[in-house]
Amino acid sequence: MRQGERGGRRNRPDTPSTGAPDSHPTRRRSGPIRVLVADEQPLALEGIVQFIERAGSFTVVARVDDLAALAATYRAVDPDVVLMDLAGSGPVPGTAALDEVLAHHGTARVLVVSSDTSPVAVGAALERGCAGFLPKTSTADQLAAALRAVAAGENYVHPRLAAAVLRILRQREGSRIESGLTDRELAVLRLVADGLTNARIADALDVAESTVKTHVARILQKLDATDRAHAVALAFRRGLID
């Protein structure tokens, strides 16, 4: 796969990059690309911010060192791209922070930069709706190219990761189809796995709590699970979520 190659539709895990335009229209404005940077490692955060500010075609509109504040910061600054590391030591897991942003802002463009470049980790990020993934060992030029691609409405995966990730995503899509879970039910299941209550899931997805309860009941039925914890365990075992 080429760098910056156009990706398939968001939440279509079988196609991390297919050459087709993204189904979500880009929200790019004129001027520098506005980036929100989120990383709970202070040195990494500062280093990324300094590079972006020196690059010329980007501007950092906010920096987040506590992932619990990511969604609120996104709403406040409305960036073109979120550049984030899913790893963190705070009370809110990076995956939960990501899910909350994407649940509230369906057109959000998120580029993950991470030390964990296993196909499972990359596949999980793309399945959640991220527009791109880079190793933390990437060069400055690769980071700039990825930011530009994601801001332009393309999906971007580091070429070294693409083939293995595609295999993982195709396997997972097969498991999802076999389970009978819809995309919304899978989104609810991920939030359940993140430890969110029905009330918090309803807030994250902007639906009624009764709707969430219905989704959870259907998830339990389709997975033949006895309770929420059992459903999460089965989903992990079958590779439906990470």
**Look-up: residue for tokens 């009978």?**
180
In-domain check, residue 7: no
In a domain, 16, yes or no: no
Q: pLDDT by residue (tens digit) across 209-221?
A: 999 999 999 988 8
pLDDT band for 9, please (50, 70, 90 cuts): very low
Q: How many CB atoms lie within 10 A of CB 6?
A: 17
User: CB–CB of 147/33 below 8 Å?
Assistant: yes
Number of domains present in the structure of the chain: 2
Same structural domain for residues 192 and 148? no
CB 169 within 8 A of CB 123: yes
User: How does residue 112 score in pLDDT terms, banded at 50, 70 and 90?
Assistant: very high
Grouping H, G, I as helix, E, B as strand and the rest as coil, residue 213 is: helix
Is the pLDDT at 56 greater than 90, yes or no?
no
Are 150 and 193 contained in the same domain?
Answer: no
In this predicted model, which residue has the larger pLDDT, 74 or 233?
74
Residue 200 above 90 pLDDT? no
Are 49 and 88 found together in one domain? yes
Check pLDDT > 50 for residue 2.
no
Same domain, 40 and 128: yes
What local confidence, expressed as pLDDT, does residue 147 receive?
Answer: 94
Question: In 109-182, which ranges are continuous DSSP H helix?
Answer: 119-128, 140-151, 159-179
Query: Taking 80 as the threshold, does the pLDDT of residue 148 lie above it?
Result: yes
CA distances from 185 to 40, 49, 112, 235 (A): 30, 36, 24, 12
Contacts 24+ apart (CB under 8 A), 48-54: 48/83, 48/113, 48/143, 51/140, 51/143, 52/83, 52/147
Strands 110-114 and 33-38: unpaired
pLDDT for the residue 136: 87
When pLDDT is averaged across residues 15-24 and rounded to a whole number, the result is: 40
Query: Domain of 120: which CATH number?
Result: 3.40.50.2300
Structural domain ending residue among the three candidates 152, 170, 188: 170
Write down the residue that tokens 């699970």 correspond to: 225
Say which DSSP state 26 is in.
P
Whether 43 is covered by a domain: the verdict is yes
Where in the sequence is the domain holding 209, given as residue range(s)?
180-237
- What's the whole-number average pLDDT of the chain? 80
**Residues 99 and 191 both lie in one domain:** no
- Report how many helices (DSSP H) and strands (DSSP E) the chain contains, helices first: 10, 6
Helix (H, G, I), strand (E, B) or coil at 148: helix
pLDDT(62) > 90: yes
CATH number at residue 190: 1.10.10.10
User: How buried is residue 27: exposed, middle or buried, by Cβ count under 10 Å (0-12/13-18/19+)?
Assistant: middle
Residue 91 belongs to some domain of the structure: yes
pLDDT at 178: 62
